[in-house]
A = this chain, B = another copy of it.
Amino acid sequence: MTLLVVGSTAFDTIETPHGTSADCLGGSSTYFSLAARLFTKVRLVSVVGADFPAQHRQLLEERGIDLLGVEQKPGKTFRWHGRYSADMNSRETLDVQLNTFGDFRPKVPPAFRDSPFVFLANGSPATQHSVLQQMQGKPFCVADTMDLWIDRERDGLIELLRSIDGLIVNDSEVKQLTGKSNLIQAGRAALALGPKIVIVKKGEHGCFVFSNFFHYALPAYPTENVVDPTGAGDSFAGGFMGYLALCDSLTLWNMKRAVAYGTVLASLTVEGFGVDRLAAVDRPLVERRFHELQQFVAGA
């Protein structure tokens, strides 16, 4: 089934201990789309500036991503410049230029409004909510958020959480959202705010999944070759939602497999700068790594 994603497209300049990559294709919706397209038809709603080159558009279109909802406006594309620490577990933002993304008011094309799966990448809760209001029917909707919105638009975020099916956040965000320092308590408390499923990402330590029917923990894929962590979280979400959209039912088992596919996509993304590795991945490689991950966590 089709999967709609709404979020940023960007030019990223990334510095890691492995080198620097300047002005490479980035943005939450880009990573998400490139991961999800391995499983299902992806519809993208985003905004770019007049400087967005045809080659980037082509890279996405060649991988089956429908760009009908990508608005090109006068001015520049969103730019981000970040630098990772030596162990790549933290990063510093050196520069942000919102440019055309600064007043992004997502318009879902009529042809996209019947999408049964929706991912709201990181953005203001008001913007995320406006997407939901444009949809026909009741899609299965998962959202991301960040510390900025938890801090500054808490009421809007709480309202959004009542309208969505799933929330994907990292461990510090779920603690900030709920005021609980114990991660299990925080996960439960987030669940009580409305979503049917809360996925807490813990970076190299994997993730926890909370729902009213099951709790689940999955370690990260044991990658030895981390080149650039940018986009790991959005690739995780893309793998998760892409696989779910491929399934014909939202069973516990499909949810767990989707979490594992998300984990696999994140591990692939971090092996290259920007989207380099992710854009080159094919489904057989994903399946091989999915199998390796299963072996790695297989209990006794």
Contact B300 A257 (CB under 8 A): yes
A300 touches B202 (CB 8 A): no
A residues in contact (CB < 8 Å) with B: 86-87, 181-185, 188, 202, 204-206, 208, 214-219, 222-224, 226, 252-257, 260, 294-300
Write out the residue numbers on chain B whose beta carbons fall within 8 Å of the beta carbon of A257. 300
- A215 in complex: contacting residue of B184, B223, B254, B296, CB < 8 Å: B296
CB within 8 A of A222: which of B87, B215, B218, B295? B215
Q: Chain B residues near A184: list those with CB within 8 A.
A: 222-224
Q: How far is the CA of A257 from the CA of B298 in the complex (A)?
A: 11
A87 and B181 contact, CB distance less than 8 A: yes
What is the CA–CA distance of A254 and B226 in the complex, to the nearest angstrom? 32
**Cα-based distance from A215 to B183 in the complex (angstroms):** 26
- The answer, among B185, B205, B295, B297, for a CB contact under 8 Å with A297, is B297
Closest-CB distance, A198 to chain B (whole angstroms): 13
Dominant secondary structure of chain A at its interface with chain B: mixed
- Interface pairs (23), CB distance under 8 Å: A86-B181, A182-B224, A183-B204, A184-B222, A184-B223, A184-B224, A185-B224, A205-B206, A208-B222, A214-B295, A216-B297, A217-B219, A217-B222, A218-B297, A219-B219, A253-B300, A256-B299, A256-B300, A257-B300, A260-B299, A294-B299, A297-B297, A297-B299
Q: How far apart are A40's CB and chain B's nearest CB, in angstroms?
A: 18
Nearest opposing residue in chain B for A217, CB measure = B219
CB-defined contacts of A295 to chain B, threshold 8 Å:
214
Q: Which residues on the B side are within 8 Å of A219 (C-beta)?
A: 206, 208, 217-219
Q: How far is the CA of A255 from the CA of B183 in the complex (A)?
A: 28
Contacts of A299 in B (CB 8 A): 218, 256, 260, 294, 297-298
Complex Cα–Cα for A184 and B224 (A): 6
- Cβ of B182 and Cβ of A226 under 8 Å apart? yes
Among A219, A223, A256: residue with most chain B CB under 10 A: A219
Q: Is the CB of B296 within 8 A of A216?
A: yes
Interchain CB contact (< 8 A) of A296 among B181, B217, B300: B217
